[in-house]
């Protein structure tokens, strides 16, 4: 078995981003409706902008993050993909070392544990450049200061308030052990990739209150959305196909957008799930047309 080429990694990144934005994810930009002053096209442009960088074998995680956000800023003027970039960078770094998909967790852990202070500095610069909303200020290692810890340590400090940071310190457990099996079984049951993606998104939403909503609105808001996702999934579980609830999903999507509630972190976890799925397919078949 050979390793994935940079071209294949690039294709996997684009595939994951395009399917994430196409999926009918309530409250988030999707194929049924743009939202939060961002359009589907902005996300597609951003996906192509980051893919070439993400596939570079020689860049550190911090450089991958910073250069990807710099590239994004040349094609759009809003924060379309900071969370995606933060989650994709360690995965793209790790996949270069894998000839079998089973190696990914171990290689990912090596990447995460070897993150440096320079990675943290580059990452902080990227976050400031992306101008991400709702980060708030922190007593320790605030985003406007120069970090004095490694990127892993910075994520450790933030893990309670940010589900993306939590992935860095748990070796992407939520994505590898929860998101990926759900996405895979949904695709195998005959759902299209978009609907399977929306299903994985709702499962994440039902199990982990969205940390972006929690920071931007409130913990109560985040819990309400989690309860609503849980209720919807109860109906789906009796029926097994999320796609048969399209009307209900569109209604809920519109309601959330009217209130400017965006489960953005959940969408980022879903995008990373798609990327890992694409890597798995590409490694097992050696062709990206597999996903």
Cβ neighbors of 99 (< 8 A, separation 6 or more) are: 1, 2, 3, 283
Query: Is residue 4 within 8 Å of residue 96, measured between CB atoms?
Result: yes
Burial of 155 (0-12, 13-18, 19+ CB in 10 A): buried
- The superfamily CATH assigns to domain 6-285 is Triphosphoribosyl-dephospho-CoA protein (1.10.4200.10)
Query: Is residue 253 within 8 Å of residue 33, measured between CB atoms?
Result: yes
d(CA 284, CA 2): 10
The three-state secondary structure class of 181 is: helix
Query: Is residue 26 within 8 Å of residue 259, measured between CB atoms?
Result: no
d(CA 65, CA 62): 5
Global pTM value: 0.92
d(CA 235, CA 291): 28
Residue pLDDT tens, the chain, 291 long? 579 999 999 999 999 999 999 999 999 877 766 554 557 788 888 899 999 999 999 999 999 999 999 999 888 877 778 999 999 999 999 999 999 999 999 999 999 999 999 999 999 999 988 875 444 444 454 556 788 999 999 999 999 889 999 999 999 999 999 999 999 999 999 999 999 999 999 999 999 999 999 988 899 999 999 999 999 999 887 776 888 899 999 999 989 988 888 999 999 999 999 999 999 999 997 554 444
In the chain, what are the domain boundaries?
6-285
Q: How big, in percent rounded to 5, are the helix, strand and coil portions of the chain?
A: 70, 0, 30
């Amino acid at each position: 078995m050979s390793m994935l080429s940079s071209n294949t990694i690039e294709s996997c990144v684009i595939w994951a981003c395009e399917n994430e934005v196409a999926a009918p994810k309530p409250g988030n930009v999707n194929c049924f409706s743009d939202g939060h002053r961002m359009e589907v096209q902005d996300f597609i442009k951003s996906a192509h902008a980051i893919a070439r960088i993400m596939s570079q074998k020689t860049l550190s995680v911090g450089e991958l993050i910073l250069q990807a956000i710099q590239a994004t800023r040349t094609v759009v003027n809003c924060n379309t993909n900071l969370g995606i970039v933060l989650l994709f960078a360690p995965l793209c770094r790790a996949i270069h070392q894998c000839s079998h998909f089973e190696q990914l967790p171990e290689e990912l852990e090596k990447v995460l544990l070897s993150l440096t202070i320079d990675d943290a500095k580059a990452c902080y610069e990227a976050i400031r450049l992306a101008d991400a909303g709702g980060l708030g200020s922190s007593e320790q290692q605030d985003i406007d200061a120069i970090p004095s810890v490694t990127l892993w340590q910075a994520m450790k400090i933030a893990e309670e308030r940010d589900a993306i940071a939590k992935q860095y310190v748990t070796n992407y457990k939520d994505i590898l052990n929860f998101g990926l099996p759900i996405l895979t079984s949904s695709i195998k049951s005959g759902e299209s990739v978009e609907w399977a993606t929306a299903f994985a998104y709702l499962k994440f939403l039902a199990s982990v209150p969205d940390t972006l909503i929690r920071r931007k609105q409130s913990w109560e808001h985040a819990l309400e959305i989690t309860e609503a996702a849980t209720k919807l999934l109860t109906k789906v579980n009796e029926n097994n196909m999320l796609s048969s609830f399209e009307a209900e999903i569109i209604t809920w999507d519109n309601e959330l957008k009217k209130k400017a509630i965006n489960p953005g972190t959940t969408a980022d976890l879903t995008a990373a799930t798609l990327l890992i799925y694409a890597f798995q397919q590409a490694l097992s078949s050696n062709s990206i047309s597999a996903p």
